[in-house]
Amino acid sequence: MPFTGKFHSSLHTFNCRWDALTLAFWRRYPNPTSKHVHSEDVISRELDGHKLRTKRIFFKSNRLPRWGERFLPSGSQAVVIEESIVDPKLCTLTTYTRNINFTVLMTVEEKSVYFKSPENKDWTSCVKESWIQSNVFGFSRALQAFGSSRYKDNSKKAIRGLEYVIARMNETEPRPAITFPHITIEPQLVS
């Protein structure tokens, strides 16, 4: 069956090395643009050869338009699963994200690939692709248009939030060394 929903693709380049961006990715919540993300938890994490595979769960909310309250109770939270693969040999971070509730109304799936920019080895590019689909008879186009618009807005916020975390990691204020018995970790700026 052919895909009948909305597809969105975007490319963004961060002025940040891939290794630093990957570190910022794991630290991206909380940030000022992510107040809709209530919690994140790691479900599993394992090494698969040289690749790190992680599965996380997020609880998120977004204000619904008035017409949306007919479909969902006010204050409803979306539950989102994120599966990621970090490949340090290829310098890629690939994420697959999808909602696991409210799927009767709409499914939103996203694939993001972060990689060293071909333009500058000190930059990281990200290609995001999303698929938004609804099969609610009589409302599918309206729900897909709403989902697409909301996805685009939240995608921009996610980029700004990640850039905020990167900037915070790059602050030049002094940081104390972390000391464990027999080990001292000196602070380093991430660029």
Is it the case that residue 53 has pLDDT exceeding 70?
yes
- Spell out the residues 6+ positions from residue 151 whose beta carbon is closer than 8 angstroms to its own: 8, 108, 110, 130, 132
Task: Measure CA 107 to chain center.
Answer: 16
Share of the chain above pLDDT 70, in %: 86
Share of the chain above pLDDT 90, in %: 64
pTM for the complete prediction? Answer: 0.85
pLDDT band at 175 (very low <50, low <70, confident <90, very high): very low
β-strands 51-60, 37-48: how paired?
antiparallel
Query: How far is 179 from 99, CA to CA, in rounded Å?
Result: 41
Query: How far is 158 from 67, CA to CA, in rounded Å?
Result: 26
Task: Measure CA 137 to chain center.
Answer: 30
The model's pLDDT over 12-43, given as tens digits with 9 standing for 90+, comes to 999 999 999 999 999 999 899 988 889 999 99
What does each C-alpha distance from 126 to 16, 114, 145 come to in angstroms? Answer: 12, 4, 24
3-state secondary structure 100-162: CCCCCCCEEEEEEEEEECCCCCCCEEEEEEEEEECCCCCCHHHHHHHHHHHHHHHHHHHHHHH
- Spell out the residues 6+ positions from residue 115 whose beta carbon is closer than 8 angstroms to its own: 18, 90, 91, 92, 93, 124, 125, 126
- Section 114-134 average pLDDT: 96
